[in-house]
């Protein structure tokens, strides 16, 4: 057994390991249970006793030295492994973040909010009524007799005899007047239903009703409040006009138009060449309606109005098909 040869062999094995490489295969070959040193120590017993001691001592030194070097290489290897892992997990803080998709308010909601803001700033209080309504509130108490065309089966969804899906928010007028005494200043936003579907009608749409009742409420109050509303909603420069109209529950009745915001009055497809856009119906509360809620028309008077929220939103945002509001197409909705 030539110790010099063994030292050279071990040196060759150890120096073959690059720093940072895995020293384990070499460790197994040299220090393993069936490895080089184990075999060498086994062979010691075949040597004559006088040689055995000296060679044994040198082999022990060599083995200890080998263990030390392998341990060091093992540490370097583990350090390298840890660095590589860290590298692969590294976060680049300069990359743009993932922007979460945040929902937006529906244009009908924002239009509602704007209408409500304007009227509450004038002292109107927000009230609500049921969407499934008694025929009495939807029609009868509003002076709409049994044979009135507004009650036609084609327009009204009947739930059962005497019960309808409200076709307008005007029944809230009756419910409010029945439950309190003047002075009254309320608006009633909400959904209404009519059996109709085309470019300007959906079977469900929204209205905001308004009602003011007190002593000496006059048509000029109606004009003043609604003109102010139009200016807040569509801008200070907007022109308004009141046209005579007819509703069974108001007398006199009117419709309010604003100067077409598309063509500025020159005439276009949207205003049907008239230069004006109708935005609401209104009038002085009919004396019969006041009597129906046990008010005395000699003592109090009032005005009422009702507007279509979709219609206002269409004018405000330049939308030409009301059905767009209800397709829930994200490409449409994300524009607002």
- Contact residues for ligand PHE (CB under 6 A)? 168, 170, 247, 250, 281-283, 304-306
Q: Give min distance, CB of 217 to ligand PHE, in A.
A: 13
Q: Give min distance, CB of 256 to ligand PHE, in A.
A: 10
Q: Give min distance, CB of 105 to ligand PHE, in A.
A: 25
Question: What is the C-alpha R_g of the chain?
Answer: 45
> In the complex with ligand PHE, which residue's Cβ is closer, 69 or 286?
286
Q: Give min distance, CB of 275 to ligand PHE, in A.
A: 22
* Helices of type H across the chain: 3-15, 24-31, 36-44, 49-89, 107-121, 135-138, 171-179, 219-234, 287-292, 309-317, 330-333
> In the complex with ligand PHE, which residue's Cβ is closer, 217 or 304?
304
> In the complex with ligand PHE, which residue's Cβ is closer, 77 or 295?
295
Residue 56 has phi, psi (to 5 degrees) of -55, -45
Asked whether 174 and 213 are in contact (CB, 8 A), the reply is: no
Per-residue exposure over 61-79, b if at least 16 CB sit within 10 Å of its own CB, e if not: ebbeebeebbeebeebbee
> Which residue's Cβ lies closest to ligand PHE?
306
> In the complex with ligand PHE, which residue's Cβ is closer, 250 or 324?
250
Dist. CA 170–CA 172, nearest whole Å: 5
Q: Give min distance, CB of 285 to ligand PHE, in A.
A: 8
> In the complex with ligand PHE, which residue's Cβ is closer, 41 or 158?
158
Nearest-5° angle of CA 272, CA 275, CA 276? Answer: 90
């Amino acid at each position: 057994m030539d110790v010099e040869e063994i030292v050279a062999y071990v040196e060759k094995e150890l120096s073959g390991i690059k720093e940072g490489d895995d020293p384990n295969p070499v460790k197994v070959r040299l220090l393993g249970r069936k490895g080089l040193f184990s075999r060498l120590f086994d062979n010691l017993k075949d040597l004559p006793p006088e040689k055995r001691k000296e060679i044994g001592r040198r082999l022990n030194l060599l083995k200890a030295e080998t263990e030390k070097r392998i341990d060091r290489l093992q540490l370097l290897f583990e350090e390298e492994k840890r660095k590589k892992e860290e590298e692969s997990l590294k976060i680049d803080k300069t990359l743009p973040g993932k922007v979460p998709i945040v929902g937006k308010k529906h244009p009908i909601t924002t239009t509602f909010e704007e209408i409500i803001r304007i009227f509450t700033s004038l002292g109107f209080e927000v009230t609500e009524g049921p969407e499934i309504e008694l025929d009495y509130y939807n029609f009868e108490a509003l002076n709409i007799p049994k044979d009135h065309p507004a009650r036609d089966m084609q327009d009204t969804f009947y739930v059962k005899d005497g019960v309808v899906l409200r076709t307008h928010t005007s029944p809230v007028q009756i419910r409010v007047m029945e439950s309190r005494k003047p002075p009254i200043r309320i608006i009633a936003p909400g959904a209404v239903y009519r059996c109709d579907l085309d470019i300007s009608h959906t079977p469900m749409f929204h209205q905001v009703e308004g009602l003011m009742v007190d002593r000496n409420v006059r048509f000029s109050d109606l004009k003043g409040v609604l003109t102010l509303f139009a200016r807040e909603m569509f801008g200070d420069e907007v022109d308004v006009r009141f046209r005579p109209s007819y509703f069974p529950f108001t007398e006199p009745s009117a419709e309010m138009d604003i100067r077409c915001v598309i063509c500025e009055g020159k005439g276009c497809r949207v205003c049907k060449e008239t230069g004006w856009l109708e935005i609401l119906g209104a009038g002085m509360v009919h004396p019969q309606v006041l009597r129906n809620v046990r008010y005395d028309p000699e003592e109090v008077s009032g005005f009422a109005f009702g507007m279509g929220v979709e219609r206002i939103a269409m004018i405000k945002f330049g939308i030409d098909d009301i059905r767009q509001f209800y397709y829930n197409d994200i490409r449409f909705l994300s524009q607002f």
